[in-house]
Chains A and B, each alone.
Chain A
Amino acid sequence: MITLQNINKTFRVAKRGAGFARAAKALFSREYETVHALSDVSFSVQGGEMVGYIGPNGAGKSTTIKIMCGILTPDSGVCQINGRTPWKERVAHVREIGVVFGQRSQLWWDVPVMDSFELIRDIYKVNANTYQRNLDELVEILDLSEILKTPARSLSLGQRMRCEIVASLLHDPNILFLDEPTIGLDAVSKIAVRQFIKRLNKERGTTVLLTTHDMQDIEALTERIVLIGKGQILLDGSLAELKARSPEGANAEEMVAALYKEYEI
């Protein structure tokens, strides 16, 4: 379903020093440094799997997701998703995936959520029956019927995130990428979102890949975790395995903290 082989990605970043003299110097010459965002990243995900993709900030999580969504082209390596290379067949590829960026909204700020959904329906050319079925189902599970006529700007963060998820699923994607879907949510919303993702995976068999800093997300959702640090895959295994090598009684948070420490990331 998803295969990444030896994906490499480097960025050139301009050095920007503080201070008066350095700023004046930068007027005339600028130094660059090369950052290895991803080095030889390989992993694969089976259909229907739920995978937690974790690592500290700047480890390369977003870069990987962007490559898998077809937004970024890697320097080298192979990536096959649903039998396609994302950055080569963008349009066909994105039709079959759903993406939620936790920090950015795809809803229109000033118009009722429903209008945003209908626009998405037209963008993806979802046929009327499928759309209605999906919408009814999603709205019911996520308890959104009350707020469909509300503009996104008046929604709470939790309500908005639930709508974001609906918006990403209206076209029946078989893979869902969730980039920090629970960031900033209150406890009730977090639980609702988690339950929903679980149900989605179970009932529709949707493959889910999620990045998060919230270890409870991982604990509640995924069987398998992939740990990335400094652009390299450091660990790829089941949560159970991880538990086995951790001290007795440690919770997910502590396990991951121990991991970060172990790999010095």
Chain B
Amino acid sequence: MIYLKPYKALFRIRFTNSLQYRAAAVAGLVTQFVWGFMYILAFAAFYNSNPAAFPMTLQQTVSYVWMQQAFIAVFFIWMYENSIFEAVESGQVAYEMVRPMDLYGRWFTMTTANRLSRAVLRCIPILIVAFILPEPYRLVLGGGAIKHVLFLLSMILSLCVVVSFSMLIYISAFHTVNSMGTRIVVGVAGDFFAGGYIPIPFFPDFLRTVIELSPFGAMQNMPLLIFNGYLTGNAIARGMLLQVFWIAVLVLAGRLWMRRSLKKVIVQGG
């Protein structure tokens, strides 16, 4: 929690700044909204071609897309914190190490805070619009309070999975001359397997089973499928446990790797 203090101010500044750029806010919103709507229309076309082959209901897919668009900043790996890459590549990171906070914690909080503040700003208007759309394109709540609590919990977990996963990419920058390759390859592939392009239930079955157990299945897949009612009961419990498991593994791996990488930096003098 002590990490969060400086970020309260940061959050405030970002929020104020974003409000000032009203045109940017509106434009971003329109873009995302149209984007989401086109996805939905495409899914609807597939649904109409053969409803039996559709792995979930159309309504569930609609909810999936809207929630995904609303929380893009939470869910997608490629929303990197570029300042971290710059700090590592320019050697600035040596100065950061002078400060009293531990670097892993700092990066983790910074990324989380930035993602959250972006998401909070964007989600509200998108959700409002998505709720007032006509059927069948409307975002439907339904499912009771417990489901929504579980959804929120799972979303927080999935944010932690995404951040702890991207921490590995940040740390890898200590070991490569140019982090761009890793950034791009892991970003695109990761978001694809996480269900960023099409939801995981649309994947072929053999792949689906594997991915659902991987960290990618513990990202946007979980909260979105809880929200749209695709997952129920035990499946939710199992999935959330898996999320916790992956956070533990990823954080542990990240912290260990970070320690080793920093030693290297210190030995080489940044």
Binding site for B on A (CB under 8 A): 16, 19-20, 23-24, 26-27
Question: Which A residues touch B16, using CB under 8 A?
Answer: 19-20, 23
Q: Is the CB of B12 within 8 A of A23?
A: no
Q: Identify which of residues 9-57 in chain B touch chain A, using a CB-to-CB cut-off of 8 Å.
A: 12, 15-17, 19-20, 22, 25
Q: Which of A16, A20, A26 contacts B12 (CB 8 A)?
A: A20
Q: CA separation between A20 and B16, bound complex, in Å?
A: 5
Closest to B22 in A: A27
How far is the CB of A21 from the nearest CB of chain B, in Å? 10
Number of interface residues of B (CB under 8 A): 8
Q: CA separation between A156 and B12, bound complex, in Å?
A: 41
Question: Which B residues touch A23, using CB under 8 A?
Answer: 16-17, 19-20
Closest to A18 in B: B16
17 of the cross-chain contacts (CB-CB < 8 Å) are A16-B20, A19-B16, A20-B12, A20-B15, A20-B16, A20-B19, A23-B16, A23-B17, A23-B19, A23-B20, A24-B19, A26-B19, A26-B20, A26-B22, A27-B19, A27-B22, A27-B25
How far is the CB of B260 from the nearest CB of chain A, in Å? 35
Q: CA separation between A26 and B23, bound complex, in Å?
A: 11
Q: CA separation between A241 and B175, bound complex, in Å?
A: 66
Question: Which B residues touch A27, using CB under 8 A?
Answer: 19, 22, 25
Q: CA separation between A24 and B12, bound complex, in Å?
A: 13
Additional A-B contact list (6), CB under 8 Å, known A20-B12, A20-B15, A20-B16: A20-B19, A23-B16, A23-B19, A23-B20, A24-B19, A26-B19
Q: CA separation between A130 and B215, bound complex, in Å?
A: 67
Question: Which B residues touch A24, using CB under 8 A?
Answer: 19
How far is the CB of B114 from the nearest CB of chain A, in Å? 19
Q: Which 7 A-B pairs have the closest CB atoms?
A: A23-B19, A23-B16, A23-B20, A27-B22, A20-B16, A24-B19, A27-B19
How far is the CB of A16 from the nearest CB of chain B, in Å? 6
Q: CA separation between A26 and B22, bound complex, in Å?
A: 8
In this complex, which of A19, A23, A26 has the most chain B Cβ atoms within 10 angstroms of its Cβ? A23
Q: CA separation between A27 and B22, bound complex, in Å?
A: 6
Q: CA separation between A16 and B16, bound complex, in Å?
A: 12
Question: Which A residues touch B17, using CB under 8 A?
Answer: 23
Closest to A28 in B: B22
Q: CA separation between A210 and B19, bound complex, in Å?
A: 41
How far is the CB of B10 from the nearest CB of chain A, in Å? 14
Q: CA separation between A24 and B16, bound complex, in Å?
A: 8
Question: Which A residues touch B20, using CB under 8 A?
Answer: 16, 23, 26
Q: CA separation between A23 and B24, bound complex, in Å?
A: 14
Closest to A19 in B: B16
Q: CA separation between A26 and B24, bound complex, in Å?
A: 13
Question: Which B residues touch A26, using CB under 8 A?
Answer: 19-20, 22
Q: CA separation between A23 and B16, bound complex, in Å?
A: 6
Q: CA separation between A170 and B19, bound complex, in Å?
A: 48
Question: Which A residues touch B19, using CB under 8 A?
Answer: 20, 23-24, 26-27
Question: Which B residues touch A20, using CB under 8 A?
Answer: 12, 15-16, 19
Question: Which A residues touch B12, using CB under 8 A?
Answer: 20
Q: CA separation between A20 and B17, bound complex, in Å?
A: 9
Closest to A25 in B: B19
How far is the CB of B89 from the nearest CB of chain A, in Å? 17
How far is the CB of B177 from the nearest CB of chain A, in Å? 19
Closest to B25 in A: A27
Q: CA separation between A23 and B17, bound complex, in Å?
A: 8
Question: Which A residues touch B22, using CB under 8 A?
Answer: 26-27
Q: CA separation between A19 and B17, bound complex, in Å?
A: 9
Binary A-proximity of B71-90 (CB < 8 A = 1, otherwise 0): 00000000000000000000
Q: CA separation between A23 and B19, bound complex, in Å?
A: 6
Q: CA separation between A23 and B12, bound complex, in Å?
A: 12
Q: Identify which of residues 61-77 in chain B touch chain A, using a CB-to-CB cut-off of 8 Å.
A: none
How far is the CB of B28 from the nearest CB of chain A, in Å? 14
Question: Which A residues touch B25, using CB under 8 A?
Answer: 27
Binary A-proximity of B132-164 (CB < 8 A = 1, otherwise 0): 000000000000000000000000000000000
Q: CA separation between A144 and B20, bound complex, in Å?
A: 48
Binary A-proximity of B213-254 (CB < 8 A = 1, otherwise 0): 000000000000000000000000000000000000000000
Question: Which B residues touch A19, using CB under 8 A?
Answer: 16
